[in-house]
Amino acid sequence: MQSEQTRGGTRWKRFAVVMVPSVAATAAIGVALAQGALAASFSVSGQQFKVSANKLEGTGFLQYGAYDVQHGGKNIPIAVSSFKSASITGMCQSVVIPGIPLVGDVTMKLQAGGNGTAVEAKNLYIDLDNLNADAQFNNINIGVAAGDSTKGPGMKGGGEHADPGGFAQEADSATLTGVKQTAWATSAGTFKLSGLSMHVLKGDQECY
């Protein structure tokens, strides 16, 4: 990973999730759970999904470590990337449903934000475990406590498994291009999908 200062921001080529290692994050959150500091009710499906985008421009960025509980009880270490607002062009989201009897694998694919009209989101939270993109952050702070962030939308709350005193990074704004990520969950206060199309396709036809 390379970094350089660019007009009040930091540009990271081929951005990888820069959170504490997954094992350490899970251990720290486990201690907090044992002390009764965190809720333990949020769960996700047993499948990841892929998301790609030509460009994501967001304001009020916050990223912190957490974990999701998979249906069936397995803990999934993640990084939560959140934005107060985000504009996304060329968005694609896909998930493969394997081994349907008499059919085989089936891909559910959703696309939006093409033809010059972006997807718009407010208070966007993405629970991810892998991200690749070219990224630029403006006025970034690395190493803040997740619960003390003043730039981002704040922690998700509810039944989220995350430590408010844990490691986080924040920025006034972020621009990501050529986004490819795998995620377990996405939530938003509002999510306007311009030019939405959804298809059920035979075989593995994911976004990337």
pLDDT tens for each residue of the chain, 208 residues long:
444 444 456 676 555 554 333 334 444 444 444 444 444 445 678 889 999 999 999 999 999 999 888 888 888 889 999 999 999 999 999 999 999 898 999 999 999 999 889 999 999 999 999 999 999 999 999 999 999 999 999 999 887 889 999 999 999 999 999 999 999 999 999 999 999 999 999 999 999 9
Closest among 41, 13, 62 to 176, alpha carbons compared: 13
Q: Which value, to the nearest 10 degrees, does the dihedral of the CA atoms of residues 140, 146, 150, 153 take?
A: 100
Q: What per-residue confidence (pLDDT) applies to 72?
A: 83
Q: What per-residue confidence (pLDDT) applies to 106?
A: 93
What is the spatial distance between Cα 100 and Cα 18, in angstroms, rounded to a whole number?
A: 37
The number of angstroms, rounded, from the C-alpha of 90 to the middle of its chain's C-alpha atoms is 17
The torsion region of residue 7 among left (phi > 0), alpha (psi -120 to 50) and beta comes to: left
Q: What per-residue confidence (pLDDT) applies to 16?
A: 53
Q: What per-residue confidence (pLDDT) applies to 42?
A: 52
Q: What per-residue confidence (pLDDT) applies to 115?
A: 84
CB 19 within 8 A of CB 63: yes
Q: What per-residue confidence (pLDDT) applies to 43?
A: 64
Q: Please tell me the pTM assigned to this model.
A: 0.82
